Amino acid sequence: MKITHAIIPTAGFGTRMLPLSKAVPKELLPLGSRPAIAYVIEEAVSAGIKNIVLVNHAQKTAIENYFDINSELDTQLRAKGKETLADGLNFLPSDVSITSVRQGKPLGLGHAVLQGRAVVGDAPFAVLLPDVVLDPFTGGYGRDNLAFMLARFAKTGRSQILVDPVADGDIHKYGIARLANKEMVAKGNSNQVFDVQGFVEKPSLEVAPSNLAVVGRYVFDNAIFDYLAKTVPSVGGEIQLTDAIDALIGAQGMDVVTMMGGSFDAGDMESYLKAFMYFAGRQLGV
Ligand code: G1P
């Protein structure tokens, strides 16, 4: 079954990015010459996604406006002969739509994804966490990972989660995959697929079941919505996506896919600054 829907949760306040994120949504902070979320949307579109659902917050409508056509500005630019500039602002293909729903209460990532159900309906769908930006410049384009996961879902019907081997010191920041055997996987040059038995959210190194961290790209069978609707708050008092994923694994099984190329955490100040320098450097050719 071909997947054309993707949910992107954007309602979070980005407290790790203060003070930058006080008045500007963290998703609109620049990576080089474009806002971070523009690369995430481009990744989704290049993998074949047509219907993008932002799960947004009332104070972050600037994200919706960025992807809208500002016809006043468009008319003004064209009247002055600045056609190329105007064309560059209306960059989404005409068959791609961006819809926005609201997450009025900060009840967790699982709750945010569930808010997308009103638009996605009965279809399978992808989820992209916008804090994570895949490297669009090197390594055969990180965005090919999502295309690989979508193709595998179309072939097997099994849900797919992108993972990347991380250093011991970073294990506690991520959801970590539990495989059939406790395996340590080296980063390779291809998408490797493993049968996954569950995930542990942000474990200590001692209890971590592998070194494979959830990167923030998911392809789900629609049944995940039923499990999310039944999920009760757990870690941090929030409705965790990880809990619904474990329920889905119990019912249908699931694959993890190792990531090709690099990724950046644009939701954390130190890695955001490194990402900014990398993107700016590539765009300046230095
Ligand atoms: C979320 C997920 C976690 C994943 C991470 C990737 O955590 O819950 O499993 O590894 O995104 O960035 P967050 O960073 O929102 O706390």
Exposure class string for 258-284: b at 16+ Cβ within 10 A, else e: bbbbbbbbbbbbebbeebbebbeeeee
Atom of ligand 1 nearest to the CA of 201: 9
State the average pLDDT over residues 174-188: 82
Residue among 248, 277, 224, 253 nearest 109 (CA): 224
Distance 1 CA to ligand 1 centre (A): 27
Ligand 1 neighbour 131 (Cβ under 6 A): yes
Q: Is the pLDDT of residue 143 over 70?
A: no
- Residue/partner pairs of 135-139 with CB below 8 Å, 24 or more apart: 135/261, 135/262, 135/263, 135/264, 135/278, 136/39, 136/42, 136/43, 137/282, 138/261, 138/262, 139/260, 139/261, 139/262
Residues 6+ apart with CB under 8 A from 95: 50
Mutate which of 129, 145, 217, 228 for ligand 1 pocket (most atoms within 8 A of beta carbon): 129
Encoded amino acid at 190, one letter: S
More confident residue, 185 or 17: 17
Rounded to an integer, the average pLDDT of 132-143 is: 75
Within 10 angstroms of residue 170's Cβ, the number of other Cβ atoms is 14
Q: Residue 179: left if φ>0, alpha if ψ -120 to 50, beta else—which one?
A: beta
Which residue, 3, 267, 276, 262, is CA-closest to 136? 262
**What is the tens place of the pLDDT at every residue in 73-89?**
999 999 999 999 998 88
Under the banding of pLDDT at 50, 70 and 90, the label for residue 57 is very high
Map tokens 């994200």 to a residue: 63
pLDDT above 70 covers a percentage of the chain that reads 98
Q: How far is the CA of 82 from the centre of ligand 1 (A)?
A: 42
Length reported for the chain: 286
Q: Is the pLDDT of residue 182 over 70?
A: no
Label residue 286 by pLDDT band (50, 70, 90).
confident
Mean local confidence (pLDDT), 145-172: 95
Residue nearest to atom 8 of ligand 1 (CA): 175
- Asked if residue 183 has pLDDT above 80, the reply is no
Question: What's the pLDDT tens digit per position in 254-280?
Answer: 999 999 988 999 999 999 999 999 999
User: Has residue 140 got a pLDDT over 50?
Assistant: no
For ligand 1, the distance from its centroid to the CA atom of residue 198, given in whole angstroms, is: 15
Task: State yes or no: pLDDT of 159 exceeds 60.
Answer: yes
The mean pLDDT of 53-77, rounded to a whole number, is 95
Residue-wise DSSP of 20-32: TTTTS-GGGSEET
**Residue 180 pLDDT:** 80
Mutational pocket test of ligand 1: of 10, 174, 199, the residue with most ligand atoms within 8 Å of the beta carbon = 174
pLDDT at 175 over 80: yes
Coil vs helix vs strand at 5:
strand
Region for 19 from its dihedrals, namely left if φ exceeds 0, alpha if ψ lies in -120 to 50, beta otherwise: alpha
Cα separation, 163 vs 256, whole angstroms: 6
**Ligand 1 contact via 171 beta carbon (within 6 Å):** no
Residue 139 pLDDT: 56
Please give the average per-residue pLDDT across 16-34, as a whole number. 95
Q: Does the pLDDT value for residue 186 go beyond 90?
A: no
C-alpha triplet 54, 261, 278: angle, nearest 5°:
80
Beta carbons within 8 Å of 140's beta carbon, 6+ residues apart = 260, 261
Determine the distance separating the centroid of ligand 1 and the alpha carbon of 284, expressed in angstroms. Answer: 31
Q: Percent of the chain at pLDDT above 90?
A: 84
Rg (CA), the chain: 19
3-state secondary structure 134-203: ECCCCCCCCCHHHHHHHHHHHHHCCEEEEEEECCHHHHHHCEEEEECCCCCCCCCCCCCEEEEEEEEECC
Res 189: pLDDT: 78
170: tokens are: 């970073």
Tell me, using a 6 A CB cutoff, whether residue 201 lines ligand 1. Answer: yes
Q: Decide the pairing of beta strands 97-102 and 51-56.
A: parallel
